[in-house]
Every structure is written in C-alpha cells, then in structure tokens.
C-alpha cells in the first residue's frame, strides 16, 4: 500500500506540465506495482488532479499559512485529503498514518521549515519529525473538525462557488458560465470530473455483436455506443490489454466522438488519403477499417516518438495500408514533385491525371488544440491552459488547415476537427478559412452520421447545428469535439 501512495506522489508532484498518463506508466515500472496497486495509484492520481482546487481550499482551513507549505508536503496532504473526503474504502486514520510516513521519508529532501517537533524518546529535533508532525496535525484537525470547511454561496458568488466546489480555474468558469449559464456550466464541469467509460472502436470488418459475445463469455459487461456504429462501451473495470481480442487487433481505444470524425471523411477503396496530424493513429486505423483496408492512407505527424507508437498500433490492428511520414502540418510538406511518388504509386488507376498526381482524395486534419473537450480523460488540462492558449491555438490551427488544404484535389473532401469545446478553435477557424478560400464550401454532415440529430432553433441536445458537429460530455456522454466537413469545388 505504501509503494502505491509513493507512486501516486511521484506522479502528482510532476503534473502539470507532464501528462499524468505518461507519468503513471513510469511509476508502474519504477515501483514494480501489481495490477491491484496500479488501480489504486490511478484512482489516487486522477482523483487528486480532478479535485485539486477543492482539496487546496479544504486544506486551507487547517493551515495557518497555506502559501508557505512546500510542494512535497502539499502533495502529501492532497493525497491524504482526497482519501479522507472522497474515498469510502480507505479508513481515514489509515490515510493519515500513511501520509505521516511519507512525510518522514521525504523530509530530509524538501520538507524542512515547519518548526520543530520534539521526540519523546530522545529529545532530538529535526526536519524529519517536524514534517511528520506538521502533516499529522493538519490531517488530524481535518478529521476532528470537518465543519470548518466552508464554500461560497452559489447565489451570491456563483463563479467562486463553481471554481472552488468543482475545481476549475476561475477564468474557465467565467468563460463557460458566460456561454452556457450557471446550470449549463455546472453540468459541463461535473461531467468533466466524472470518470469516463472505456470506449472501444470495433474493427468495421467484424460484427460488433461478435465482440460483445466474446466479452460476455469472459464476464465483461459491454454495450453498443449511442452514435457511432462501431463503438462499444465497456462497463467492467479491466485493463484494455487484458480484454479478449486485444492482441488479435479486434478493437482499439477511441472515444465515440472521435469515431464520428472518420465517418465524416467517408473514405472509399482505392483513394489516397492524408491524415495530417495522425499520431498515435486512432483515426488512421479507423479510415483503414472503413475502406476495408483498400485505401492508401498517409499518416503524418511531427513527432517521431508518436509515429513509432502509430506503427506499433498499425501492426496490432493489421493495417498495412497505412504509411507514416514525419512532417509538420504547419510547415513544408513533402508531397510535391518526385517526393509525392510514394503517395500515389499503386493507389489505383485513374487517381493521377494527365499531368501527374492531382492531390489527395481526402484530407483529415484533427488539429492540435487546447484539449478542453477531454478534461475528463486528461484532468491536468484544466490547470495547464489559460485564455491566451485558445487564441494561440486558433492561429496555429488556421495555419495548418490552409497549409494542408492545398494538397486536396478538386472535388475532394477536407475534414477538420478538434477535441476542444471552444468556438475560437472550431467555428472560428473554419469560418476564417472559408472566408479566404472560395474554392471550398461547408458540406452537410448529416448523411454521414448513422443517427443524425439536428438542433432545431439552437437546442443543445443534438449533434448538428449550422452544418457543424459539436459534442459535449454532459449532453452526449462523449468527449467534447468539434468537426466540420468541407468540399473543394
């Protein structure tokens, strides 16, 4: 149990800027954790990150000078406070005892400065006992007097209430309440704090019911998704690599909203398709699946490390029609002259015009973004972003879409998407692009959705409005996505 909490402390002490998911994998190896401890570490890490502001607010009522608490002590207190306030299966006193031991373990490194606690046995003093005494005193007070914690009144101070109660930075609370109102913003933030389900994309070439039966035989509860025809929501808690069919490449992990993006692209056999920001390859694999493995998919990404993961996934999913290319979607693209030969070679007759290769049949740009639509999967995003990031990302996204759009052949399809809830990164980018490029038009996405749902009069319950698709976790049970389908005249 102690090693699990030490692993959790290792992760939350480094998030952000590092990603929790990456650090969790590191901690599993560093502390040699079994599957049970891995589940506990994951619970502790994501629980603390999701509720960081709330935990700090609660702890502040038991600390005289909260701003002077050093980082390691603060994180030890956060871990224990999360267990005390949110977990029923861990006895509060056990959480306190573990926190005290943790404090002793790191005291000599970075936890001095809390005054002295005299040892009864030796009369000695030192940072080890001082740190342990400080942590013990704070947490014992929290157990004895939980009524000390007070939150602002939602009627009098709605922004402060939502920020402190649901643990979102003030600027984001203000932005979302301005867009959705108090209740809408509250629902969105609550959904962002929920533990998301495991959603799989079943290979389109295999019946989804077949995998459901296979899971059922293994005692795994799963049900079809609501929107995407290949989506499968797994209700049983089990590592994805231990699910039946994983090694055989029968499925990949992909949220239902992300699956809609490739459906909009609607690839066909024999086409040449560019996935412009592809790694780690989920959408490329879906494009391959939809086209029956008979298209030629160029998966481009700037990150060599991520392309390596893409190649591993491609091998597991058996998608030999995917070809990886290292390039920046906002920079110089390697698809001109002789360098384009590998793209259209063997792509099928009629794809190249009399003058040579005429361009990609379809381009999918799932652009880098603030990722504010996937807070429930990456809760550290809440604290890593600021208002300036939205504008900065929008500039980069517009640069990318203008850059790659020139590679699309006349009559081709361009799909743009972001996992962001913010209109500047979605409607704003597409609107500016279309205003500059009369050769492109916005296409109706509804024929490509298996269950099209309009939003008449701006109602918030559907997927489509003004020929854009938007999904929200509190409305659709999916990640927050924006997507648009455009055609080149």
Residue 73 belongs to domain with CATH number: 1.10.940.10
Q: Which of 110, 153, 277, 419 is catalytic?
A: 419
Nearest 5°: CA angle at 381, between 36 and 44? 20
Kindly report the number of other CB atoms within 10 A of residue 36's CB atom: 10
* 118 & 144 share domain: yes
Q: Which residue has the tokens 């997507």?
A: 483
Mean pLDDT score, 474-485: 96
Quote the tokens at residue 320.
Answer: 């030999």
Q: Which helix (H) or strand (E) holds 366?
A: strand 360-366
Residue 214 belongs to domain with CATH number: 3.30.70.1170
* Residue-number span of the structural domain to which 373 is assigned: 257-488
Q: pLDDT of 335-370, one tens digit each?
A: 865 445 556 554 443 344 445 678 999 999 999 999
Rounded to an integer, what is the distance from CA 347 to the centroid of its chain?
34
Q: Which of 98-112, 326-340, 461-475 has the lowest mean pLDDT?
A: 98-112
Q: pLDDT of 429-449, one tens digit each?
A: 999 999 999 999 999 999 998
Is residue 153 situated within a structural domain?
Answer: no
Q: Which residue has the tokens 């996934």?
A: 313
Nearest 5°: CA angle at 334, between 329 and 337? 140
* 239 & 263 share domain: no
Dihedral Cα 349, 353, 356, 362, nearest 10 deg: -80
* 221 & 84 share domain: no
* 222 & 323 share domain: no
Active site residue 153: no
Which residue among 208, 232, 253 closes a domain? 253
**Structural domain count, the chain:** 4
* 324 & 230 share domain: no
Dihedral Cα 42, 46, 51, 53, nearest 10 deg: 120
Mean pLDDT (the chain, rounded): 90
pLDDT category of residue 250 using cuts at 50, 70 and 90: very high
């Amino acid at each position: 149990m102690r090693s699990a909490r030490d692993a959790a402390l290792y992760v939350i002490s480094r998030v952000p800027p590092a990603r929790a998911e990456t650090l969790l994998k590191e901690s599993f190896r560093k502390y040699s954790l079994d599957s049970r401890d891995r589940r506990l570490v994951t619970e502790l890490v994501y629980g603390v990150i999701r509720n960081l502001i709330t935990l700090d607010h609660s702890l502040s009522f038991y600390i005289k000078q909260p701003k002077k608490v050093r980082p390691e002590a603060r994180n030890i207190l956060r871990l224990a406070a999360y267990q005390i306030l949110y977990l029923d299966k861990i006895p509060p006193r056990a959480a306190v005892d573990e926190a005290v031991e943790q404090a002793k373990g790191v005291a000599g490194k970075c936890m001095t400065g809390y005054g002295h606690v005299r040892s009864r046995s030796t009369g000695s003093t030192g940072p080890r006992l001082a740190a342990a005494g400080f942590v013990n005193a704070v947490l014992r007070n929290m157990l004895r007097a939980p009524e000390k914690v007070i939150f602002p009144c939602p009627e009098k101070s709605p922004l402060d209430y939502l920020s402190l109660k649901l643990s979102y930075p003030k600027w984001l609370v203000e932005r979302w309440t301005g867009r959705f109102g108090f209740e809408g913003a509250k629902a969105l933030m609550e959904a962002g704090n929920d533990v998301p389900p495991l959603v799989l994309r079943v290979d389109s070439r295999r019946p989804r019911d077949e995998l459901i039966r296979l899971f059922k035989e293994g005692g795994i509860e799963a049900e079809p998704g609501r929107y995407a025809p290949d989506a499968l929501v797994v209700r049983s808690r089990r590592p994805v690599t231990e699910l039946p069919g994983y090694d055989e490449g029968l499925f990949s992990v992909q949220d239902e909203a992300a699956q809609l993006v490739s459906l909009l692209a609607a690839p066909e056999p024999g086409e040449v398709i560019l996935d412009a920001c592809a790694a780690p390859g989920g959408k490329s694999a879906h494009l391959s699946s939809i086209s029956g493995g008979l298209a030629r998919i160029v998966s481009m990404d700037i990150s060599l490390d991520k392309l390596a993961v893409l190649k591993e996934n491609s091998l597991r999913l058996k998608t030999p029609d995917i070809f990886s290319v290292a390039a920046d979607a906002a920079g110089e693209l390697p698809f001109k002259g002789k360098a384009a030969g590998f793209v259209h070679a063997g792509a099928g007759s009629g794809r190249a015009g009399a003058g040579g290769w005429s361009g990609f049949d379809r381009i999918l740009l799932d652009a880098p973004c603030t990722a504010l639509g996937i807070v429930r999967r990456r809760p550290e995003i809440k604290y890593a972003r600021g208002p300036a990031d939205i504008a900065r990302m929008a500039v980069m996204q517009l640069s990318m879409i203008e850059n790659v759009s020139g590679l699309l052949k006349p009559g081709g399809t361009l799909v743009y998407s972001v996992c962001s809830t913010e209109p500047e990164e979605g409607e704003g980018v597409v609107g500016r692009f279309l205003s500059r490029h009369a050769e492109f038009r916005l296409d109706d996405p509804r024929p490509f959705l298996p269950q099209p749902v309009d939003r008449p009069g701006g109602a918030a319950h559907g997927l489509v409005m003004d020929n854009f698709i938007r999904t929200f976790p509190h409305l659709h049970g999916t990640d927050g996505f924006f997507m648009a389908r455009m055609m080149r005249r």
